[in-house]
Amino acid sequence: MGAFIIAVDGPAAAGKGTLARRLATELHLAHLDTGALYRATARDVLAAGLDPADAAGAAELAGKLDPASLADPGLRGEEIGRVASIVSVHPAVRTALLDYQRNFAYHPPNEAKGAVLDGRDIGTVICPEATVKLFVTASLEARAGRRLRELETSGAPADAAAVLADLQARDERDSKRSAAPLKVATDAVLLDTSGLDADEAFGAAMSIVRARTRSFGSSQA
Ligand code: CDP
């Protein structure tokens, strides 16, 4: 308790990552993209030639993740995202990654006074006592459009119908799994970014953070 934690949860391509990074910079907090942990596990599962359905194998690799490898730009690929949503279904994988996430939140690096974590289960499972919980969402079409532009910018081959189908499949897997499914925490504030650009989403998120921290009597934001 006592740490200043912002939980940013939501479905794939809702703009959580960009938003979480900007909040962290603005408020001088550390930032952890927890999706990178599942993506890195997926990368290591693929590299080891394991079946993503092999829970014990994936959990063993998750437990051995090298945090230095989380910055790997290769993690953003679509295939890795798809496999990440398969390995993340295994409770043993989630358990293997729990301590790293909690430790980051409660003992942020570089003496930061708190942390912003983005993912699917930050407000519900990882940090249920987070100071502010945002659930960032957008329509399937808006999210597919953003993911398509992201892929095009990175020079990766992109097919609109395939991107939409992939997001739909991931939404379904992330929401229906029994371990830490994607859902809105009861005390989260919903932020629909469908009609907002990145600056507008950031402005809306800052207003929510400010209102929330005022009601907590904190001077930190
Ligand atoms: O960036 P994008 O929204 O596409 O996904 P991500 O945040 O990088 O997460 C990739 C996958 O990891 C998700 O589809 C989830 O299945 C899983 N994940 C999770 O289960 N729990 C988290 N806290 C973060 C990601």
Query: Residue 2: is its pLDDT beyond 80?
Result: no
What is the Cα–Cα distance from 187 to 209, expressed in whole angstroms?
13
Residue 163: pLDDT band (50, 70, 90) is very high
The pLDDT assigned to 127 comes to 97
Section 155-163 average pLDDT: 87
What is the Cα–Cα distance from 165 to 180, expressed in whole angstroms?
23
What is the Cα–Cα distance from 88 to 94, expressed in whole angstroms?
6
Query: Residue 99: is its pLDDT beyond 60?
Result: yes
The pLDDT assigned to 157 comes to 79
Cα-Cα-Cα-Cα dihedral sign, residues 144, 149, 153, 157: positive
The upper half-sphere exposure of residue 9, i.e. CA atoms within 13 Å in the direction of its Cβ, equals 29
**Average model confidence (pLDDT) across the chain:** 92
What residue ranges define each of the domains in the chain, with the CATH number in brackets? 4-212 (3.40.50.300)
Asked if residue 146 has its Cβ within 6 Å of ligand 1, the reply is no
Query: Residue 217: is its pLDDT beyond 60?
Result: no
What is the Cα–Cα distance from 178 to 73, expressed in whole angstroms?
30
Asked if residue 52 has its Cβ within 6 Å of ligand 1, the reply is no
Query: Residue 219: is its pLDDT beyond 60?
Result: no
Asked if residue 121 has its Cβ within 6 Å of ligand 1, the reply is yes
The pLDDT assigned to 205 comes to 97
Asked if residue 174 has its Cβ within 6 Å of ligand 1, the reply is yes
Q: 3-state class of 119 per DSSP?
A: strand
Query: 43-47, 121-125, 134-138, 149-153 — which is least confidently predicted?
Result: 149-153
Residue of 94, 118, 87 whose CA lies nearest to 104:
118
Asked if residue 131 has its Cβ within 6 Å of ligand 1, the reply is no
Nearest CA to ligand 1 atom 25: 35
What is the Cα–Cα distance from 57 to 46, expressed in whole angstroms?
11
Section 134-163 average pLDDT: 91
Write out pLDDT tens, residues 78-95.
Answer: 889 999 999 999 999 999
Query: Residue 130: is its pLDDT beyond 70?
Result: yes
List, in order, residues 6 or more apart from 104 with CB less than 8 Å away.
30, 32, 115, 117
Asked if residue 114 has its Cβ within 6 Å of ligand 1, the reply is no
Write out pLDDT tens, residues 20-64.
Answer: 999 999 999 999 999 999 999 999 999 999 999 999 999 999 999
Q: Bridge partners of 106?
A: none
Nearest CA to ligand 1 atom 9: 35
Mutate to test the pocket of ligand 1, among 19, 33, 38, 135 (most ligand atoms within 8 A of CB): 38
Write out pLDDT tens, residues 168-195.
Answer: 998 998 899 899 899 999 999 999 999 9
What is the Cα–Cα distance from 17 to 9, expressed in whole angstroms?
10
Query: Residue 68: is its pLDDT beyond 80?
Result: yes
Cα of 200 from ligand 1 centre, angstroms: 23
